[in-house]
Structure 1
Amino acid sequence: MKELIKNIKKEIKENKTVPYLGIGIFKNVKTKEGEQMPYDSDSLILMMNNGRAMSPRLMYEFSRAAMHLEQRRGYEYIQQLTNWIYSKPFEPTEIHKEIVNLNPKYIIDTNRDSKFQELLLDVEHILIVGKARILDNDYRYEIYKFDIQTKQYIKTDDEELKNAQKILFKPMGSTLPKPSFIISDADYVDWITEVMGGFAVPAFLKKYRKGKKYLFLGADFSKDTERMVANELTLDLDGGYYVKEPPLSKKEENFLKRHNLTHIPISLEEFNKYFIKTSL
């Protein structure tokens, strides 16, 4: 295991493997007030619904639950609710910090918090934030350049990506620079439709990602939406690693086989310990 982890870290540092983070990285992560952060679909639904479970149909996946709440209370409500959840004060995890220390050029973070952004306050970087249901154009992202002098994000265009030293892709949105999230079924349908049409990933990244491997941390490919998002974001991949304690569902097994992913059959908590302690 130690040699495998060492090799993965080396690949990340050399920009051969791209870190890809999902909601599972927040297991055992608590806010400064001691509240557990959502770490899977069920816990996110419970936080969205004041700790109450919803019907089995809605509990199937958080995007369904979010769609139900949006239909009842409106689009702005679910956006504000998501911002409330992910704006809660908590520290970046050790895995966030270790990935930043490895200094990869490209990170994909499908979570909606700003922890990576907080760790990059002294680093020039380009932020790509996924968008949904935009009326004035087909593109489903916005690009920002971070100014380390003013500590502000400045909206820019695709051209900045060509010379970027670091790119943080937040395809499902972020609390910063302004709260905007892909969270409900309607958001995902719009985003996935446009990404399949080529409008949700900048052209530069379509070229850059060819032949890359991915380290999937906290992703859950038993969930249909997560598989679809990962499939579209990592086209042209050259394999990679999926960290998850067994057993895997049939859907997960098929996804791993189709994308030539190596299953690392340990808990994310155990993997993180190895990952943080293993030196290059």
Structure 2
Amino acid sequence: MFHATLADLPDTVIDGLAAGTLAPYLGPGLLALCEGATPPAEPAALAAVLTAKVSVPGKIKHRLTAAAQFIENFKHRKTLVNAMNEAYAVAAVPSALQRWLAALPAPLIVDAWYDDTLRAALAEARADWGEVQGLSQSEHFGTWVGWYDPQGAVSPDPIEARTVLYKPWGGHVPAGNYLVSDTDFVEVLTEIDIQTPIPALVQQRRAALGFVFLGCRFNDQLPRAFARQIMKRSAGPHYAVLPDEPTRMEARFLAEQGITRIAMPLAEAAAALMASQPALVV
């Protein structure tokens, strides 16, 4: 299947985000736009942090999910969660783009990384939002997601907020929920084809939305699997800001999912978005 590549940010992306018909889908690359200290912003960096605290076999030292599984198996789940909490205790200052995104009328924002930065930007900007995070079956067997209000208090399922922040891999705040080990992901991927781990409200809202991927790479099976299932039955269109030449598997994924690649640096895309709607910058 053919998929388009654009060198500039289309008006349809700008207008769709501003109108709330396109939903931001954020990855760890967004942390590169933050000034000052930031927590680990890619799987390899996070694996290095975890294995600096707990010794793991060399052959899995650089593989995040395998290293996390070793720590969970041989040092207990609490040791893994504590190490993740320490890694993400570094609170990055939200970038201008994250503040811009937080002010959007988006029914849904997907944030597929563990940091608290977008949550902090939302908390600064407004009160009409709620959050839903993926839960590890090792700690919450039979319960796939947890809902939280803007103050971090546990809330009923679901929160009918104007904007729902969906963190499918969990997050540091408010409760240290993490999908990070092999077992965590196997449990979810076993059920995700039939959509069980994806909140019903997310499924309802995506039906009228397309997605704009910012700070995401698809050069690993996990981000592809989650994006594919979260996008399922969504209205489209879909776009991905991806300045680097896609790998063979990334190119195949973009084509299969009908995602238009925008081949421009994330910082340039951010500048174009904020220049188009400066009133949204908090």
User: Which TM-score tier does this pair reach, normalised by the shorter chain?
Assistant: 0.7 to 0.9
Provide structure 1 residue ranges, at least 5 long, that are not aligned to the other structure: none
- For 1:118 and 1:101, locate their aligned partners in 2 and report how far apart those are by CA, in whole Å: 12
- For 1:211 and 1:104, locate their aligned partners in 2 and report how far apart those are by CA, in whole Å: 11
Q: Which amino acid aligns with 2:20?
A: N
- Aligned counterpart for 2:267 among listed residues 262, 265, 269: 269
Displacement of 1:135: 6.9
Q: Mapping of 1:167-206 within 5 angstroms?
A: 167-206=164-203
TM (norm. structure 1) is 0.85
- For 1:266 and 1:136, locate their aligned partners in 2 and report how far apart those are by CA, in whole Å: 40
Tell me which moved more, 166-175 or 117-126: 117-126
1:16-35 deviations in whole A, cap 9, x for unaligned? Answer: 1110011111226465xx4x
- Aligned position for 1:157: 157
- Aligned position for 1:232: 229
Residues 108, 202 of structure 2: 8 Å contact kept: no
What is the RMSD computed on CA atoms of the aligned residues? 2.6
Q: Mapping of 1:8-23 within 5 angstroms?
A: 8-23=13-28
Matched residues, number: 269
Q: Mapping of 1:137-148 within 5 angstroms?
A: 138-146=142-150
TM (norm. structure 2) is 0.85
Q: Which amino acid aligns with 1:16?
A: T
Displacement of 1:113: 1.8
Provide structure 2 residue ranges, at least 5 long, that are not aligned to the other structure: 1-5
- Aligned position for 1:248: 246
Matched, 1:96 2:94: no
Identical-pair percentage: 19
Displacement of 1:110: 1.0
1:150-192 deviations in whole A, cap 9, x for unaligned? Answer: x45242123x43xx21111111112222111111111111122
- For 1:123 and 1:89, locate their aligned partners in 2 and report how far apart those are by CA, in whole Å: 20
Residues 140, 194 of structure 1: 8 Å contact kept: no
Matched, 1:125 2:129: yes
- For 2:136 and 2:48, locate their aligned partners in 1 and report how far apart those are by CA, in whole Å: 24
The secondary structure found in structure 1 opposite 2:103 is helix
The secondary structure found in structure 1 opposite 2:153 is strand
